[in-house]
Chain A
């Protein structure tokens, strides 16, 4: 009996101590962030301009088969990381150029997915390198501008998420054997292409 009470007392004391020393909740981590790697992982959830471009390339690679999908899986994150590191070492972030690049990526990749053109695997790999290099470079420039000093870790988070995103999306497109599934992928491509064209109109409209 007394042993049970002792156990309860100890448990209550432990709980009391635990509740008396809470850490801050930090529910809204706008200022603190989640840490550099997690900030990088969260990048694609907060940046549709990068996420949809990567998705379009992954779908394009998936439509072109497993070989293209495998190449994109490694080339896109690697080039994104390389471009990001180059951007980190560069000065002069230009949001306008970033928007133009994003809009053109949407337009080109979206139309390629929508039309389902039989591109050679090497061309898909080249597109992956270009896309990764350009978007990663602007990511790096932005991180340099933000001055966190932990851009490399953030880029690692970005590259890891990109790997997962490309793996999932390209695998989905590769396995899209029924006609309706392939059509659904192409419709998504047409929507991305249409968004890119409208976005480029917005950019030009903003210049006026």
Chain B
């Protein structure tokens, strides 16, 4: 039994490398229909364009895997839905105060939950926490939409990318089965927590608030670095 599982693991050892290679492939752009291809691509790249968003998404997946059972799918279902509510309000121009601080807190608190492996008795509290932070992230993306894109394709790409980030977190969270894996996940949570501290520090800087309106930086094509989405 063990031998067959090892053989299966070896057989699929190429899969992560193939997925990474496919994810990094540049666009072909042979025949571009203006707006359409750009819409999906922009939406798909958007969640990957800021470390704060990546941290929060992966943390949700990790925490879901730590909680196990229904939580593993409940949190990733709640986050995109609530995030789309935030995105909707951002798109129609409803303001949200403390947006940057909320986003920074999402990485900080979700990282803390993963690091300390917090397991509330009821799933309501994790769902509320994840939902609130999903709202903040969605709103941030809603207000910084790139102009002239296809709304439908952008939305589909955005949601798929967000879900993929959750799946990454859940997949990493499968390490939770082993003692060493549990420790690894908690260390990952600590790293997310530290990122959250940095984001919070950056968010409360006086310059950050002054430059807040300049968030129309069209992060759709921005490289993934420490620069935040908002």
Contact = CB atoms under 8 A, between A and B. Distances in A.
Q: Which of A48, A49, A198, A199 has the most CB of B within 10 A?
A: A198
Interface in A8-39: 28
Given A114-B81, A198-B159, A205 B87 contact: no
B198 interface: no
A103 to B, nearest CB: 8
Nearest to B40: A48
Interface string A89-116: 0000000000100110000000100100
A183 interface: yes
Nearest to A207: B92
Interface in B75-121: 76-77, 80-81, 83-85, 87-93
A198 B81 contact: no
B154 interface: yes
B142 interface: yes
A168 interface: no
Interface string A170-208: 000000000000010011001101111111111111101
Contact of B155 (A111, A187, A195, A204): A195
B163 interface: yes
A167 interface: no
Contacts of B84: 193-198, 201
B91 A205 contact: yes
B73 A187 contact: yes
Given A49-B152, A193-B81, A198 B87 contact: yes
B92 A205 contact: yes
A197 B152 contact: no
Identify the interface centre among A48, A103, A208: most chain B CB within 10 Å of its CB: A48
Q: Which of B80, B85, B93, B142 has the most CB of A within 10 A?
A: B80
Contact of B80 (A102, A103, A186, A194): A194
Contacts of B160: 191
Interface in A101-153: 102-103, 111, 114
Contacts of B142: 198, 201
B60 interface: no
Most buried by A among B142, B152, B156, B159: B152
A203 B154 CA distance: 12
A86 interface: no
Contacts of A160: none
Most chain B CB within 10 A, of A187, A201, A208, is at A201
A204 B92 contact: yes
Nearest to A188: B163
B10 interface: no
A28 B77 contact: no
A52 interface: yes
Contact of A201 (B31, B77, B91, B159): B91
A196 B91 CA distance: 13
A186 B89 CA distance: 24
Nearest to B138: A198
Contacts of B152: 48-49, 99, 102-103, 195, 199, 202
Contacts of A49: 152
A28 B159 contact: no
Contacts of A194: 80-81, 83-84, 155, 159, 162
A48 B151 CA distance: 12
A190 B159 CA distance: 9
A111 B77 CA distance: 10
Contacts of B91: 198, 201-202, 204-205
A208 B90 CA distance: 13
B90 A195 contact: no
B153 interface: yes
A154 to B, nearest CB: 20
A99 B151 CA distance: 10
A71 B219 CA distance: 45
A6 to B, nearest CB: 47
10 contacts: A48-B152, A186-B73, A187-B73, A187-B163, A191-B159, A194-B81, A197-B84, A198-B142, A202-B145, A205-B91
